[in-house]
Structure 1
Amino acid sequence: MKTEDISLFHRIVETGSLVEAADILNLPKSTLSRRLQALEDELSVKLFHRQSRSMTLTASGSHFYDKTTSMMSSLEETLSELTNEKTDVGGHLRILVFPIPELLQITQGILHFMDLHPSITVEIIVSAEPQDMIRNNIDLAFILEDSFNENEMVARHIMSETVHFFASPEYLARAGTPQTPEEISDHNSILFRYPNGRIFNEVPFGQDMVLSVKGNLCVNNLSVCLEATLAGAGIAMMPLPFCQDYVKTGQLEMLFKDSAPYEGKCYLVYPSRRYISLASQRFIDHMLIELENCSQTGTCNQIAKIRGAIKPLI
């Protein structure tokens, strides 16, 4: 019995469809169906009730899924213990990245990991939309705090970013400049919707304040938020690195400069209900080191600017 066939079985379970699993795995449906049938023949049990549009587990299939999930996890852990950290690993990783200012830093880290492990193939999915990581076979994700379910995910804090209020000179000339954070509620704010559906209208400020904001525009993408702010649509709360070039040119003004900024956190997460592959384990270790080095040396932003502007890629 091949462990790869068991992994394919897991993907079918998690998508609930042979067609969807084949699309995500980039395999012909006929190949996936044949390998599933071979697995059932080897086990001498029926794993799925096959229907026209979906597949549901039989009692035997459910039992096999539960038992093999822990088995595959133990196998990957054993392989990790036996193999040298520099030993090449293979496999395919699907990585979701929330469109954050550090997108290029993360991309550089992924490319470096691929250089170290030439047998690895990677798919990078940049999205601010909600994604079911299990159903969409996403191995790892870089996403913001409060945008994922902690009960379903294992999360590693990997970076923090200072977040400030910004507005264009045109908006401030028209609506006036708020002098205190409490006055922000009297202004039109550009709202932000997190991937989990939550609208960011109760805004943390400093260390212990929460400000209520309201506005006539809600977005789920930082680039759109930035463009709307530059156009004078309202006041927006955005990461400083994303806006600092526009502050330098006078296109944006940072508000409440004397107040302590809010610190937003980004996490590297993976589903707690799925065993984590050896490739994923190595990737997590690699990115933690890579981003820590970036933070200490301050070189990553410089490299990102040399290789290309962040704005068009987000």
Structure 2
Amino acid sequence: MSKISLRDLEAVLAIARRGSFRAAATELDISTTALSHGIARLEAELGIRLFNRTTRTVALTEAGQQFVDRIGPALSDIDRAMDSARSHGETPSGVLRINASAVPAEAIMSGLVPDFLRRHPRMEVDLRTEERLVDIVAEGFDLGIRVRDLVPTDMIALSIGQWQRYAVVASPEYLADRAPPQNPGDLKDHDCIRARLPSGALLRWHFERQGETVSVDVTGRLTLDDAGVARCAVLRGAGIGIFLEQSVCDDIAAGRMTRLLEDWTPPRSDYCLYSPSRRHPSAGLAAFLAMARELANNARRAAATWDSQSSDASSADPVGTHTWRRARRPRKPSR
């Protein structure tokens, strides 16, 4: 073991993570040749081959995968212990590693991360954006950001302060011979475009109005795993879809889509920042979490103001029919 350094182990994880010696060398700021020689020495010391290499691909061997599964969490523990030791009683410093999907990554870059770096000049943030759900502990991240439904149950989660609205929409073509839904329960009579999450589960549609919350497992003949494809399906009249408001606001404004159940979709924070339970987080991690809570509380107060205004507007029309005062065509009988 004396011949094996932490740097060697970090190199193995970088190659496994990147799937390429060249990309791993860039991440580690060393030459590809030096990295290749280091892995060769490590394999000789261990007496096993860690990677199968061709001119085009790099893949872990079975022994290599077992090795990575063991050293990943161990190195994460070592990094956290060193960060914690450095930071106790000191100004927050070091690197905060975050893994997020694209939408919340953009959200935290619009406020939280820049503000954090300005407030703590000795801190660095390494933000990796990817849609697959990763094991943040095994892959060496301090924090993850995902939709609430995807956050592992053994993690400590915090709703981030970027509140947003969902929009339930359909095309005028789809609604031409169907009565629009007046409440979430009416969705059972419609073709809804179901969304499959990276975990394989189907997205439940969540609604809220005046303190009442409803979750619906919608039914439909079309199931998709990409929001862009789902948008195309809605535009072609294939059914009712649910999207982040900013994704379809132009379609709504142009009349290509009609918004439904608007009074059931107040601003909400579906994205959560999550991390393993830690009794002694590093000063940098603790400072980041404190800022996230501060922004979340500010956003929650703003959302409460919106909800109060919405309640006042709908008090004279408790089922929300004010949204649909235009003439409605009766639904065609099912075939």
In the comparison of the two structures, how many residue pairs are matched? 281
Note if 1:6 corresponds to 2:6.
yes
Equivalent position to 1:99, from 100, 103, 124: 103
1:110 is displaced (CA, Å) by: 2.8
Equivalent position to 2:143, from 122, 140, 144: 140
SS of the equivalent of 1:232 reads: coil
Note if 1:83 corresponds to 2:90.
yes
Deviations 1:178-206 (A, max 9, x none): 34433312212121122222122x43444
Q: Give the direction of change, closer, same or farther, for the CA distance of 1:32–1:227 in structure 2 (3 Å limit).
A: same
Structure that is richer in strand per residue:
1
SS of the equivalent of 2:174 reads: helix
Q: How far apart are the structure 2 equivalents of 1:14 and 1:134?
A: 15
Q: Give the direction of change, closer, same or farther, for the CA distance of 1:229–1:104 in structure 2 (3 Å limit).
A: same
1:22 is displaced (CA, Å) by: 6.8
- Conserved in 2, the CA contact under 8 Å of 1:95 and 1:141? yes
Q: Which amino acid in the other structure matches residue 160 of structure 2?
A: I
Deviations 1:149-174 (A, max 9, x none): 323x4432224544452223222114
SS of the equivalent of 1:254 reads: strand
1:245 is displaced (CA, Å) by: 5.7
- Conserved in 2, the CA contact under 8 Å of 1:191 and 1:218? yes
1:70 is displaced (CA, Å) by: 4.1
- Conserved in 1, the CA contact under 8 Å of 2:192 and 2:239? yes
| 1:1-314 equivalence runs, <5 A | 6=6, 9=9, 12=12, 23-24=23-24, 26-27=27-28, 28-32=31-35, 46=45, 49-53=48-52, 54=60, 56=63, 70-85=77-92, 89-91=93-95, 93=97, 95-99=99-103, 104-108=106-110, 109-115=112-118, 117=121, 120=124, 122-125=126-129, 127-133=130-136, 138-151=141-154, 153-159=155-161, 161-200=164-203, 202-206=204-208, 207-240=212-245, 242-243=247-248, 246-248=251-253, 250-257=255-262, 259=264, 263=268, 265-270=270-275, 280-290=285-295, 292-293=297-298
- Conserved in 2, the CA contact under 8 Å of 1:130 and 1:197? no
- Conserved in 2, the CA contact under 8 Å of 1:9 and 1:36? no
Identity between Structure 1 and Structure 2 (%): 20
Deviations 1:234-274 (A, max 9, x none): 2112344554565455443332345576956211124679x
- Conserved in 1, the CA contact under 8 Å of 2:205 and 2:217? yes
Q: How far apart are the structure 1 equivalents of 2:11 and 2:281?
A: 13
- Conserved in 2, the CA contact under 8 Å of 1:97 and 1:143? yes
Q: Which amino acid in the other structure matches residue 120 of structure 1?
A: E
Q: How far apart are the structure 1 equivalents of 2:18 and 2:173?
A: 54
Q: Give the direction of change, closer, same or farther, for the CA distance of 1:209–1:158 in structure 2 (3 Å limit).
A: same
Listed as ranges, the gaps of 5+ residues in structure 1 are: 299-314
1:224 is displaced (CA, Å) by: 4.0
Q: Which amino acid in the other structure matches residue 185 of structure 1?
A: K
Q: How far apart are the structure 1 equivalents of 2:166 and 2:139?
A: 31
SS of the equivalent of 2:198 reads: coil
Q: Which amino acid in the other structure matches residue 105 of structure 1?
A: A
Counterpart for residue 312 of structure 1: none
SS of the equivalent of 1:234 reads: coil
Q: How far apart are the structure 2 equivalents of 1:244 and 1:284?
A: 32
Q: Which amino acid in the other structure matches residue 259 of structure 2?
A: M
Listed as ranges, the gaps of 5+ residues in structure 2 are: 53-59, 304-335
SS of the equivalent of 2:216 reads: strand
- Conserved in 2, the CA contact under 8 Å of 1:19 and 1:29? no
